[in-house]
Structure 1
Amino acid sequence: MSTLPKDTPPQANSGRKALVLFSGGQDSTTCLAWALERYAAVETLGFDYGQRHLVELECRLEVLAELKARFPQWAPKLGEDHLLDLSLLGQISETALTSERAIEMQANGLPNTFVPGRNLLFLSFAATLAYRRGASVLVGGMCETDYSGYPDCRDNTLKALQVALSLGLDTPMTLETPLMFITKAETWALSEQLGGPALNELIVEHTHTCYLGERKTRHAWGYGCGNCPACELRARGHAEFMQGRS
């Protein structure tokens, strides 16, 4: 049985503005399409935090350009893109995402790709920007179905953060996570549902997921090393999605 997110009635979002945390990866691109289908205006926000896969910052601009060119129904809604320098996070994080280290599990049961506080910091800055830009909705690609066990991706964490942000800003701030309870295969299905095969083709060709920043090898699911946890998850989800279509 499918667990794809149910459509929100269009009238419920009439006039609302959303800010999408947009890295240039598969999940955030799907979330961006999801937001463009639902909200009157959408802006995007990326972060430079000294990530090892810095190439994603180049990919995100390509994805935005391709979305505008290929989906004219979304182009008028897609507003300003923002990029924040959070290099301080990389300076205090000794992880496999912010330094040249082998990817492995740690004694605490978490992979060393976990950047402590990353999503908490991202969403706090996003809420601050949203407040200034007149947006009342934050959209993120966090998921606790197919993920690496990151505690800041859990639904309870984000529900608590939504309350804290709304209280701290003294204004309602809605945090939407459309991928929270779906698998990676269902994420591929959702993007096809939103934008047809053209959106999945865009995701394959232009988005970036690989933790190592490898974009020389082209697979059926996109570019990457094919061996890191991010590549393995994306590849497995794509294979399951394609199998389900046959």
Structure 2
Amino acid sequence: MTGTLCPAPADSSAASCNCVVKAQRRALVLLSGGQDSATTLAWALARFAHVETLGFDYGQRHRVELDCRQRLREGMAALRPDWRAALGPDHLLQVDALAQLGSSAMTEDVAIAMQADGLPNTFVPGRNLLFLTLAAALAYRRDLQVLVCGVSETDYSGYPDCRDNTLKALQVALSLGIDRPLSLATPLMWRDKAQTWALAHALGGDALVELIRLHSHTCYLGQRQTLHSWGYGCGHCPACQLRARGHAQWLAAQHAPSC
């Protein structure tokens, strides 16, 4: 028996998610410390009675994102009493093997560039497959029924392990592999970055947006010296550009005259 993959629709309303869940279900959020995973943590806290978080240290170049994880957890717990009550333990796993398998711009100090296969060299083959497999193993041990991750194929770099069909197939394989129904929720799958900012605002208002702006980390280079209107980062890498463009589009939509 398999669980139910629950992607969110393309609109930005927090209430519009077509994923119907029971309040007593227990969830595990893959929390990297970035904008997307921070938003999915808020999404999960608004829906599940118990939410644990999981991060991975895989030798990433932007390891500073791991420092952001606890600030995000603490900040969200302070936003709403029900979120504080729902927030469970945090887990951090060492996954050194990814860097040992081969180099990428995510794990080594090399220039970010496109490869011959059409993917940027920030792609770490098998990363999300491994992360979700480890998450499923932890969920089995912790009696958690839902894995929540912030992958998207709307505003993304073309990574094949972020695609909806990959996640659907993985959900089936993981459920069979642990012999338990496991749901894999991807609330950002059909949202672009502007809609992700809008979702954060719908979930937690200006306070959540500000928490994510200041305390999540997106920049591939790990730069946190320069504060922009959309948060910290170099401002030039693909991740910074996506985040900046999405923030600008969301602000423009906020101030657009209504019909």
TM-score norm. by structure 2 comes to 0.92
> What letter is aligned with 1:229?
P
Deviation (angstroms), 1:13: 1.5
The 1:3/1:83 distance shift into structure 2, 3 A limit, reads: same
1:88 to 97, 116, 129: 97
Matched, 1:7 2:7: no
Deviation (angstroms), 1:8: 5.3
Aligned 1:10-21 pairs, distance under 5 A? 12-21=21-30
What is the alpha-carbon distance in structure 2 between the residues aligned to residue 197 and residue 153 of structure 1?
Answer: 28
Deviation (angstroms), 1:89: 1.0
What is the alpha-carbon distance in structure 2 between the residues aligned to residue 27 and residue 13 of structure 1?
Answer: 23
What is the alpha-carbon distance in structure 2 between the residues aligned to residue 65 and residue 204 of structure 1?
Answer: 15
Give the total of aligned pairs.
245
Matched, 1:43 2:56: no
What is the alpha-carbon distance in structure 2 between the residues aligned to residue 83 and residue 155 of structure 1?
Answer: 26
1:131-164, Cα deviation, whole Å (9 max, x unpaired): 1001010000000000000000000000000000
Counterpart contact for 1:8–1:38, Cα < 8 Å: no
> What letter is aligned with 1:32?
L
Deviates more, 1:92-101 or 1:231-240: 92-101
SS of 1:73's equivalent in the other structure is helix
What is the alpha-carbon distance in structure 2 between the residues aligned to residue 71 and residue 227 of structure 1?
Answer: 35
- 2:212: which partner in 1? 203
1:194-224, Cα deviation, whole Å (9 max, x unpaired): 0011000000110000000000000000000
TM-score norm. by structure 1 comes to 0.97
Matched, 1:131 2:131: no
Aligned 1:1-246 pairs, distance under 5 A? 3-4=11-12, 6-7=16-17, 12-246=21-255
The 1:182/1:105 distance shift into structure 2, 3 A limit, reads: same
Deviation (angstroms), 1:3: 2.2
> What letter is aligned with 1:221?
W
What is the alpha-carbon distance in structure 2 between the residues aligned to residue 15 and residue 62 of structure 1?
Answer: 26
Counterpart contact for 1:31–1:141, Cα < 8 Å: yes
What is the alpha-carbon distance in structure 1 between the residues aligned to residue 187 and residue 254 of structure 2?
Answer: 22
Deviation (angstroms), 1:87: 1.2
What is the alpha-carbon distance in structure 1 between the residues aligned to residue 11 and residue 235 of structure 2?
Answer: 27
- 2:3: which partner in 1? none
What is the alpha-carbon distance in structure 2 between the residues aligned to residue 82 and residue 192 of structure 1?
Answer: 27
SS of 1:216's equivalent in the other structure is coil
* Percent identical residues: 62
The 1:144/1:61 distance shift into structure 2, 3 A limit, reads: same
1:104-133, Cα deviation, whole Å (9 max, x unpaired): 000000000000000000000000000100
> What letter is aligned with 1:68?
A
For structure 2, the residue ranges without an aligned partner over 5 or more in a row are 1-8
For structure 1, the residue ranges without an aligned partner over 5 or more in a row are none
Deviation (angstroms), 1:9: 7.5
SS of 1:175's equivalent in the other structure is strand
What is the alpha-carbon distance in structure 2 between the residues aligned to residue 234 and residue 49 of structure 1?
Answer: 23
Counterpart contact for 2:10–2:190, Cα < 8 Å: no
